[in-house]
Structure 1
Amino acid sequence: MASLDYYEILEVSRDASDDEIKKAFRKMALKYHPDRNQGDKEAEKKFKEVNEAYQCLGDREKRNIYDTYGKDGLNGASGGGFGGFEDFDLGDIFSSFFGDGFGGATGQRRQRNLDNYPLDVEIGLTVNFKDAVFGKEKELKYKIKKPCKACDGSGSKDGKKETCPTCGGRGQISQRRGFMSYIQTCPTCKGEGEIIKEKCIKCNGLGYEEENISFKFSIPKGVDNGLKIRIAEKGNLSKDGSYGDLYVNIRVKEDSKFVRNGDDVYMEVPIFVTQAILGETIKIETLRGKKDLELHVGTKDGEQFILENEGIENIRTKKLGRLIAQVSIKMPKKIDEKQEKLLKELQESFNVKNNEIIEESLFDKIKGWFK
């Protein structure tokens, strides 16, 4: 690593500001962090280089020495060089960038919920295609958590707790990985620093009990697959008497006739070859019942016809999308003698000769490409 320049490691210029250096370190530390690259020795090496570079360039005094004398000048700097890697908590450094809620054991303890469970609840709801288009009332059934009455949500039989033997009450432990040690949340007390001495018999130390919930929920018109709907105060119950929110994840079943694309709907319309030639008006089944589809003489296979305001109502703007009907021309698989005679007469009426291709000018052909 001696041959690498600290500025090159962080990919910044030598006149980079303190803020630019800090941003570069944040980006590269996230990229090469061992938790994201487990077993990757090269990433581990890069992570070490990034941290060494930031310990120098992130300190005004050390940076001035480095700019003047290089790495050799740092050997005599106060503090003994780079001995600060032990018990290095990356989460605490990120907290200085993003706030305490970003990560690390310290931030997690400060942001810990007063309850033993998250207040928000997520459930999945599968709906039929037509119900997603037009909306429908559904009954939602799920479970919520609420504080155990027997122990008042503490999880302890007598309400007492004792110091966690694993972390000694700190809520954190130090774990060594290769060349570094990391501060992590204690797995025994989950960062509390205390453990329950005797578990509550009713909730087995969980601190909560579950309740079955059921209520009517109106699916809005136009919901799409993957949409998440928030219903306020239908989640878990907190110790302070407030409720979290319920999030309903919508999954829409595929339909056998219609394919959705945003607010537009596509459908295939199979027609017989004579209907395409004659340009008939045919009845098609749309989302809102049967409608007339006017073909034109010589309708082509794969040609699309657009019906405005026959699509799906946008859940926000309430505007209707389009229905795109794509024609699929069906040919006869066999014909009898009478049909063969009639088809030959039809062919002759168009001056099409037997066993010859249809002559078409190059100009007409090119024009057809753009239709």
Structure 2
Amino acid sequence: MSKRDYYEVLGVDRSVGATELKKAYRKLALEFHPDRNPDDPASEERFKEVSEAYSVLSDGEKRQVYDRYGHAGLQGGGGFGNVEDIFSHFGDIFGDLFGMGFGGMGGRRRRDAPVRGSDLRVPVRLTLEEAAFGCQKEVDVAYPAPCNACQGTGAEGAELIVCSACQGAGQVAINRGAFMLSSTCPTCRGRGQMPKALCGECEGSGEEAVDRTVKVSIPGGIDEGQNLRLANQGQPGLRGGPPGHLFVAIDIEPHAHFKREGFDLIYDLRLSFPQAALGGEMEVPTLAPDDDPVTVKVPAGVQPGDHLVVRGEGVPRLDGRGRGDLVTVIQIDVPQKLSQKARQLLAELQSTFEQEA
């Protein structure tokens, strides 16, 4: 049986944010939790399906791969493995529900252990000139962070009380016939503590939306589809964990006159038929706004598609070792409308060609 779409599993659209994604997961996880549905294999499978979907969509990198390639992109490295890992970034909502009795799907993880923040990705749009010669840009970065008002606890004034269901252990024992499983306490979600009252700022989620602006130095020579990594500029870690990285994805606007191929610039040099036949010197613009046009020598009888190369007038190389070339591609314009005089002259020229042939 093929897997269902992860967004469909959680009942959310593809543009869902982290907060709404988490709410949707919590609702379904509580509905299908094995503690609430004992001896119900269908609910248990549904819970695992919901958990798997959330484990992928709550991870920025895995979500990007899934959005682009679907389930196939996650095979062999991005799929569903340790249920504990699913929620490590979001405070271990249902951490090690299957920590025992399912073939060793992962050992216990300290619930107070530091957790590294997620990597973030943002696009930046550049002109061809900016990409070629470098520039400074600012990008807006948005992500969920621990609520300042409750310090990420979800409790008003960060005031917590011991969970009465598990007596602070964070685990409860479940009898599954021949097996005795240790499951995350559904009341406190494995924390061993509960808010005395919900935080009014985050409504108990423990998170708040953060927006900040990051300055990015774009190196000259960067190309479409490349990424700049800004170390430790991603989402903050939890419980003292290190922050993730920020990846800036490069998107370059089409240029009115030039195309880029590697470090070379391609320019269509349009000639009239007499110019192509007679040859001569032609001026060609360069990409650098402060540079003068360069002069190219067009040989007599040049043909459409011929290349005239100007060395060192292309895009600077990222390693600083010179520049690519400016490649002019010959295009010959054929007039669609002719005056009577032009038609007469062309007819005479055609007659001359035939006589010489």
> What TM-score, normalized to structure 2?
0.57
- Unmatched segments (≥5 aa) in structure 2: 5-43, 49-75, 87-94, 96-108, 175-180
- For residues 268 and 243 of structure 1, the distance between their equivalents in structure 2, rounded to whole angstroms, comes to 47
Query: Partner of 1:240 in structure 2?
Result: 240
The reply on whether 1:314 has 2:317 as its aligned counterpart is yes
- The Cα shift of 1:191 comes to 7.7
CA distance in 2, matches of 1:324, 1:190: 67
1 CA distance for matches of 2:279 and 2:138? 48
- Contact conserved, 1:163 with 1:193, CA < 8 A, in 2? no
How do 1:71-150 and structure 2 match up within 5 A? 103-106=81-84, 108=86, 109=95, 110=109, 118-150=117-149
Inter-CA distance 189–103: structure 2 relative to 1 (3 Å threshold): farther
The CA deviation string for residues 252-305 of structure 1, in whole angstroms up to 9 with x for no partner, is 111121122222222212111100001121111121341112111111112222
Deviations 1:126-150 (A, max 9, x none): 1222211111112233335543333
Corresponding residue for 1:285?
Answer: 285
Q: What secondary structure is seen at the aligned counterpart in 2 of 1:286?
A: coil
Higher mean displacement: 214-223 or 270-279: 214-223
Q: CA deviation at 1:121?
A: 2.4
Question: Tell me, what secondary structure is at the counterpart of 2:342?
Answer: helix
Shift of 1:229: 0.9
The CA distance in 1 between the partners of 2:260 and 2:172, in whole Å, is: 51
What CA distance in whole angstroms lies between the structure 1 residues aligned with 2:259 and 2:220?
17
Residue 329 of structure 1 deviates from its aligned partner by 0.4
- Secondary structure at the aligned position of 2:313 is classed as coil
**Paired amino acid for 1:159:** L
| 1:38 counterpart = 2:39 | no
Task: Name the residue aligned to 1:301.
Answer: 304
Q: Percent of pairs identical after alignment? A: 26
Residue 93 of structure 1 aligns with which residue?
none
- SS of residue paired to 1:275: helix
Kindly name which structure, 1 or 2, has the bigger radius of gyration based on alpha carbons: 1
| C-alpha spacing 1:275/1:164, structure 2 compared with 1 (3 Å) | farther
CA contact (8 A) 1:258 1:266 kept: yes
Kept in 2, the 8 Å contact 1:196–1:205? The answer is no
State the shift of 1:196 in Å: 4.7
Q: Specify the SS of the correspondent of 2:160.
A: coil
Instruction: Report the Cα distance in structure 2 between the residues aligned to 1:105 and 1:230, rounded to whole angstroms.
Output: 29
Change (3 A) 1:104 1:212: closer
- Residues 81-129 of structure 1, C-alpha deviations (whole Å, 9 max, x = no match): xxxxxx999xxxxxxxx99x97231554549895799443222211222
Going from structure 1 to structure 2, the CA distance change for 1:107 and 1:152 (only over 3 Å counts) comes to closer
Distance in 1 between the 2:136 and 2:154 partners?
38
2:330 aligns with one of 323, 327, 330: 327
Q: The residue matched to 2:228 in structure 1 has which SS?
A: strand
Q: Which residue of 2 aligns with 1:10?
A: none
Q: Distance in 2 between matches of 1:279 and 1:245?
A: 55
Cα distance between partner residues in 1 of 2:112 and 2:223: 33
Question: CA, structure 1 residues 163+117, in 2 after alignment: closer, same or farther (shift >3 Å)?
Answer: farther
Higher RCO (C-alpha under 8 Å, 6+ residues apart): 2
Deviates most, 226-235 or 105-114: 105-114
Instruction: Give 1:18-33 correspondences, 5 Å limit.
Output: none
5 Å-filtered alignment, 1:168-187, equals: none
Q: Residue 268 of structure 2 corresponds to which residue in structure 1?
A: 268
* Secondary structure of residue in 2 paired with 1:229: strand
Q: Give the CA RMSD over aligned residues.
A: 4.3
Verify the 8 A CA contact 1:144 1:237 in the aligned structure 2. no
Unaligned residue ranges in structure 1 (runs of 5+): 1-33, 40-86, 90-97, 174-182, 360-371
Distance 2:121 2:110 in 1: 21
Shift in alpha-carbon separation, 1:237–1:334, aligned structure 2, 3 A: closer
Q: Given that residues 116 and 207 in structure 1 are in contact (C-alpha distance below 8 angstroms), is that contact kept between their aligned partners in structure 2? A: no
Per-residue CA deviations over 1:183-204 (Å, capped at 9, x if unaligned) read 9x98x79985768554322222
Match of 1:338 in 2: 341
- On the 8 A contact 1:171/1:193 being kept in 2, the answer is no
Shift of 1:162: 3.9
Is the Cα–Cα contact under 8 Å of residues 120 and 247 in structure 1 kept in the other structure?
A: yes
Change (3 A) 1:255 1:333: same
